[in-house]
Amino acid sequence: MTSRGQEPNESTDDAVWQDLVARLEQTPSAPDRAGEEAPAPAPERNAGVGMSDQERVRALFENQPRRSPAGPRDYTPKESDDDEDEGYHPPEPPALGTGEPLLVLAWFGAVGGPIALLLLAMFWRAAPLMMMLGVLAIFLGSVAFLIFRLPKTRDFDDNGAEV
């Protein structure tokens, strides 16, 4: 097998890099076209800005800040004397214990039933069968009650948002 190229080493890499830098420094920044005159500058499109196209390009390449017209973010609102604490205050939410007692009990049964069965299976394997069936019946009754409480018809024009 033959090698495809020279092994890279410090001396050849540095020499190639220096040659590349020297050639780039010798390249003129704006190559002249043989026999062509420079096109006439385009009419200023941004007459209100205060800089011509050539000045803007020069400013970009010389890292000078560009003058820009006042924009919407340059606006600073007047300081208001009113405190913002006097605005809208939402009403206090109802206490967690309030609500329809049967609905709260059904949710406890629907969530607590599987948790109780899991704890019985993990910690009390010899639990009576009637206890497990009772927890299962409470769970199934709670889920059936919650399903029964769902709306019977669907309003197809309603997107579910409430104010």
**Residue 121 included in any domain:** yes
Higher pLDDT, 93 or 123: 123
**Residue 161 included in any domain:** no
pLDDT tens figures, 71-95: 777 777 776 655 555 677 888 888 8
- Residue 36 has a pLDDT of 55
- Residue 44 has a pLDDT of 46
Domain enclosing residue 135, as ranges: 101-148
3-state helix, strand, coil in the chain (%, to 5): 45, 0, 55
**Residue 130 included in any domain:** yes
**Residue 115 included in any domain:** yes
**Residue 54 included in any domain:** no
- Residue 60 has a pLDDT of 72
Lowest-confidence pick of 4-18, 28-42, 58-72, 104-118: 28-42
**Residue 1 included in any domain:** no
**Residue 19 included in any domain:** no
Global pTM value: 0.41
CB atoms within 10 A of CB 141: 14
Averaged confidence pLDDT in the chain: 77
pLDDT tens figures, 125-143: 999 999 999 999 999 999 9
pLDDT tens figures, 63-74: 655 566 677 777
Closest CA to 114 of 86, 142, 91: 142
pLDDT tens figures, 102-112: 999 999 999 99
Q: How many domains does the chain have?
A: 1
**Residue 110 included in any domain:** yes
Q: Please say whether the beta carbons of 44 and 53 come within 8 A.
A: yes
Asked if the model's pLDDT at residue 152 lies above 90, the reply is no
